[in-house]
Amino acid sequence: MVDSGEANVGGKPNPANGAAPKLVAFDPATGRPVHLIVLRQGITRFSYVDDLRFHNNTLILTDAGDPGLILVDLRDGQQRRILAHQPCVTDERPMRAEGQILMTGNREARIHADQLEVSPDGETLYFQPSSGPMSKIATADLENKTLTDAQLNARVTPFYDTPTTGGTAIDGDGNLYVSDVDHLRILKITPAGQGSTFIADPRLVWGDALWITNKGALWIPAIQLNRTATFQHDGVSRVKLPVSIYAIDAHLKPSRHY
């Protein structure tokens, strides 16, 4: 699990003596924490560590506050910050949800590197800022410590012009499921980059943290993030309770990473 520590997105610098972001591994049988990784080497004063995926001995994390990716080598604990402030990780366009531009106070909201998925064969990382678009890079390049950041960035390629996205999932055939929070739907994007509407429903308000179960169901938490007080002009929440998780028995093929 990601504990973002004493951080915020787009606000004041994180306090130097504040709680650092960390990763905590839990034993699901006992519920007890069994492993802790404190993130200090790969972060900045503006970091908001948001999400993670695994590839072999590498943890790949997104920094939504100060655009970049963070790599953690589980063998020696080394942490590397890569692609800092490159366009592929930087939110450079307005975010839209339910037909409105997402605002924080009197300025447009920015959520940088956010969603990421590793292909079932482990060879490709897909990633994006929350506003899109989605890019891809070979995991072998990510883990090649001899490449400079400029060389690494040159190996990033565009994949799909995704809309403002809350969450993603990937199935065992390599199809990506991407929430379109503006049009309240889930897109299905094939490994060849062909997109279509998987499901659209007015209840899917800010689909986030999608998940495919081992029985092939797609779970969609509809967290209504855009309706929270942070993104309202008057600071008043417009979330409509209850906040729900929806499940679609879609008979999808689970990824080997599960």
Residue-wise pLDDT for 213-244, tens only, equals: 999 999 999 999 999 999 998 999 999 999 99
* Closest residue by Cα to residue 217 from 257, 177, 164, 162: 177
Q: What is the pLDDT of residues 88-99, one digit of tens each?
A: 999 999 999 999
Among residues 47, 90, 86, the alpha carbon closest in space to that of 66 is found at 47
Quick one: pLDDT band at residue 258, thresholds 50, 70, 90?
Answer: very low
pLDDT digits (tens, 9 = 90+) for 142-198: 999 999 999 999 999 999 999 999 999 999 999 999 999 999 999 999 999 999 999
Decide which of 1.10.10.60, 1.10.10.1800, 2.30.30.50, 2.120.10.30 is the CATH code for 52-248.
2.120.10.30
In angstroms, the Cα distances linking 166 to 17, 71, 112 are: 31, 22, 12
- What's the mean per-residue pLDDT of the chain? 95
**Is the CB of residue 23 less than 8 Å from the CB of residue 39?**
yes
Q: 0.75 cut: is pTM over it? A: yes
Query: Could you tell me the pLDDT band of residue 6, with boundaries at 50, 70 and 90?
Result: confident
